[in-house]
Structure 1
Amino acid sequence: MSGRVVVTGADGYIGRRVAARFLADTDTRLVLTVRAADRAELDAKTARLLPELGPAADGRVEVLPADLTHEAPLAAVTGDVTAVVHSAARTAFDVSRPVAERVNVDGTRRVADFAARCPALERLVLLSTLVSAGLRTGPVPETALVGEAENANHYEWSKAAGERLVAAEFPDLPLSVARLSTIVADDDRGAVTQYNVFHNTLKMFFYGLMTVMPGLPHTRLYLATAAFTSAAVVRLASADAPTGVYHLAPTAGQALPLTDVMDTAFDVFGEDPAFRRRRLLRPEFCDDATFRHLLAAADGLRGSPAAGALRTVAPFAEQMFHPKEFTNDRLREAWPGMPTPAGLPLVAATCRSLVATRWGRQGADAGPVRAGSTS
């Protein structure tokens, strides 16, 4: 792949890995955009980002500021652009509707408008998420979303809205929608450098803050690594990969039942002496009605850590009651040699990393609840 590629949100967890993969696997030049209020913030972010990309970035990377809530956020990008990877987004499950709309919907429109004015454009890759499917159940094909579906939170709603907006308002764009799985580790070794809903939930179980697991035991989790995801995105940005919708995910048969993930996590937790001393029971699965009752009760216990844990998982828990079967036939066809997901060994490796590092800081707060799919 040659040419000039724009990556938005390039200092985000996925954005910077996509940039690194472009540098490693192609000879393309990159324009990396980051959100910066002024020159000082831009310089600081550039100083952090470029060393992470390594020597391959020398002479091939330009870092520019871009705020998706501003008109024409990519106006500073000049020259021929052959591809745009739109990675920038607000990915917190508890994001408010106004913020999700400003950044994930209106911001996506502005990026698509920029792409539509690039005469040499060969591909716009829009990073979305599997949960853009909302609270549907059953098979979900690699096609545009059909009909409206209820959503568990405003993040899901905004990503679905962004997909629909670009398809409807920019029908002539060479668009590929990459719906990401939940990213649980940097690679198959299980190292974790950004925490999301998956890790935070396990943390609450490890420390005994939650004694129930909302969801159906057979609901399948679609898990992936950042290495797999970034390689897939770069592949889909190529002009010889067909446009359309792709699920960056394992097959439904390779996806992991929730009960198997829980069993694996607690087996790993049991290897830790401190966890064994707490003599915690494995959490029981609870149905939707029971979980809603527990949430209502938690509203009266504002100072309780257990109540806080319940409120933390509430924005995404509804998905665990709506099992889906995502296909990935189009991805496998477009990506010859696509690696096989690591499955439960990845879960085990990730859990061992979390326990060994105590979630990065000896059990300190891992930050806001994020979707774990986009940067």
Structure 2
Amino acid sequence: MNNGTSKSAIFITGATGLVGSYLLKILLKNGRKVFALARSKAEKSAKDRVVEVLNFWDNEVYPKYGKNLIVFDGDITEDNLGLNEKGLTRLKNEVEEIFHCAASIAFNWPLDKMRQLNVEGTRKILDFALTCPFLEKVNHLSTAYVCGDHKGAFSENDLDVGQKFNTTYEQSKFEAEKLIADYRNKGLWIDIFRPPVIAGESISGKTFRFQGFYQLLHICSLEIFETLPGKNILMNLVPIDYLCESITKIAANTKEKNKNYHPFDPNPVPLEEVLSLYSVLKKVRKPRLVTPDEFAKTDITVIQANILRFNINSFAAGVILDSRRTMAALKNMGFEFPKLNEKVLTRLMRFYKDKKS
């Protein structure tokens, strides 16, 4: 997609987040010029925060490719993305492609607060996109859990299937996708990428976000549950490098417009296998997995209920996340999606265990 002109820059939001930072690393290593949006915090500038997270992944990237990185201190919830006129004009006139990764993934935020960032923030990015004369496309990071409590198959082409939502996060990402449909009708090319549970890097196990998958490991390590409501639950899990390599592959090669993608192995991992592996690695007792109905008959404390509330209960049970169309598209592009085997799972778990010991 890079046409070799000065107007071949990429704009990425959420550059200090897990997915945004890893995508940024790949894009810079691919020789792309990248404008990154981030917020300054406390005594750290936006640029310092972006460089810090790049160094976490690979401390050779910034020294080698930093000349192609321009960091803007901004905020997707503010008018003009919190940028001054000069910065906004430069961005508008040079950006060719947008990766919109900024979002809140907090499961316990109230819906109005979640909407402000995940829905209205997306609206501001798309309004900005409409003003960019050289823009070709927008890549939007969503989640596979827009499926909510849907039972049965849920494919790339599905969205509104009458589902209800387990968290305000799921609902806000669903609403953002509905909003995107309106902007597609306004002429924007917007592809949506829906990852499931995201884990660390497959090679090193590294991550700086210990949510989802890692919260389950934490629950197991506490040894305060005899049973858990996870019988027959299958977990769709994707390492961050598999995810971001597939996203950049599709973004650079697809000719089809306005498609949704499920960038993960279609073969989920049984929760039973995950907890069994970790209980051996950590040398802790594995809780017995039972059905939700069986678990409802057990007495648990308020503390136990709160621990479970936004963890195991928020994983989709009974849904089959279908990623076959995405896998076929990637195969046609020469990318065979790696399998998530026991060796990789153990590597992810070992990094967490060592970090939290």
TM-score for the superposition, normalised by structure 2? 0.86
- Residue 314 of structure 1 corresponds to 309
Shift of 1:24: 1.7
Give the partner amino acid of 2:307: T
Deviations 1:242-278 (A, max 9, x none): 2300001111xx21122222222223233xxxx4xxx
Deviation at 1:157, TM superposition (A): 0.6
Cα distance change of structure 1 residues 44 and 189 upon mapping to structure 2, 3 Å threshold: closer
Residue 288 (structure 1) shift: 2.6
Q: Which moved more, 1:5-14 or 1:217-226?
A: 217-226
Once residues 144 and 79 of structure 2 are traced to their aligned partners in structure 1, the CA distance between those partners, rounded to angstroms, is: 28
Partner of 1:230: 244
1:81–1:121 contact (8 Å) kept in structure 2: yes
Q: Is the 8 A contact 2:36 2:70 kept in 1?
A: yes
The residue number in structure 1 matching 2:194 is 179
Give the Cα separation in 2 of the matches to 1:238 and 1:158: 28
2:336 is aligned, of 335, 338, 351, to: 338
Please name the residue that 1:298 is paired with. 301
Instruction: Give the aligned partner of residue 19 of structure 1.
Output: 24
Distance 1:99 1:261 in 2: 33
Structure 2 residue corresponding to 1:134, chosen from 139, 148, 153:
148
Distance (whole Å) between structure 2 residues aligned to residue 39 and residue 284 of structure 1? 46
Which residue identity is paired with 2:344? Answer: L
User: 2:40 pairs with 36, 40, 65, which one?
Assistant: 36
Partner of 1:260: 273
| Structure 1 residues 198-249: Cα deviation after superposition (integer angstroms, max 9, x where no partner) | 112212212313332222x322111111111111221232263423000011
1:314-358 per-residue CA deviation (whole Å, 9 max, x = no partner) reads 124334462222222332233222332223332222222323x1x
Alignment of 1:187-202 (within 5 A): 187-202=202-217
Please, which of 97, 117, 127 is the counterpart of residue 83 of structure 1? Answer: 97
Amino acid at match of 1:311: N
Mapped to 2, the partners of 1:227 and 1:88 lie a distance apart of 18
Q: Structure 1 CA distance, aligned partners of 2:297 and 2:110?
A: 23
- Alignment partner of 1:110: what SS? helix
The answer for the alignment partner of 2:80 in structure 1 is 72
Q: CA deviation at 1:291?
A: 4.5
Structure 1 counterpart of 2:75, one-letter code: D
Of 9, 12, 18, the residue aligned with 1:7 is: 12
What's the offset of the Cα at 1:178?
0.2
For residues 113-136 of structure 1, what are the alpha-carbon distances to aligned partners after superposition, in whole Å with 9 as ceiling and x for unaligned?
111222222221110111111110
Contact 1:126 1:175 in 2 (8 A): yes
Match of 1:284 among 284, 288, 292: 288
Task: Specify the alignment match of 1:103 in structure 2.
Answer: 117
What code does the residue aligned with 1:249 have? F
- Relative to structure 1, is the Cα distance of residues 50 and 269 closer, same or farther in structure 2, using a 3 angstrom cutoff? closer
1:116/1:170 contact within 8 Å kept: no
Using the aligned pairs only, state the percent identity: 19
Contact 1:112 1:170 in 2 (8 A): no
- Contiguous gaps of at least 5 residues in structure 1: 300-306, 363-375
Change (3 A) 1:43 1:351: closer
Q: Is the 8 A contact 2:92 2:133 kept in 1?
A: no
The amino acid across from 1:222 in the alignment is: N
Matched, 1:323 2:323: no
Counterpart CA distance in 2 for 1:294 and 1:112 is: 48
SS state at 1:148 partner = coil
Output the CA distance in 1 between the equivalents of 2:352 and 2:54.
Answer: 27
- Judge conservation of contact 1:189–1:346 (CA < 8 Å) in 2: no
Matches of 1:242 and 1:32, distance apart in 2: 26
Aligned AA for 2:301? A
For 2:336, the aligned partner's letter is M
Q: CA deviation at 1:361?
A: 4.1
Partner of 1:373: none
Q: CA RMSD in A?
A: 2.4
Distance 2:117 2:217 in 1: 29
Q: Structure 2 CA distance, aligned partners of 1:47 and 1:351?
A: 26
Q: Aligned letter for 1:284?
A: R
Aligned equivalents of 2:163, 2:311: Cα separation in 1: 15
Consecutive unaligned residues of structure 2, counting only runs of 5 or more, are 3-7
Secondary structure of residue in 1 paired with 2:94: coil
Q: Does 1:58 align with 2:63?
A: no
- Classify the secondary structure of the residue corresponding to 1:59: helix
Q: What TM-score do you get using the length of structure 1 for normalisation?
A: 0.82
> What residue is the counterpart of 1:368 in the other structure?
none
Aligned residues: 337
Q: Could you tell me which residue of structure 2 aligns to residue 247 of structure 1?
A: 262
1:94 to 108, 127, 144: 108
- Highest relative contact order (Cα 8 Å, sep 6+), 1 or 2? 1
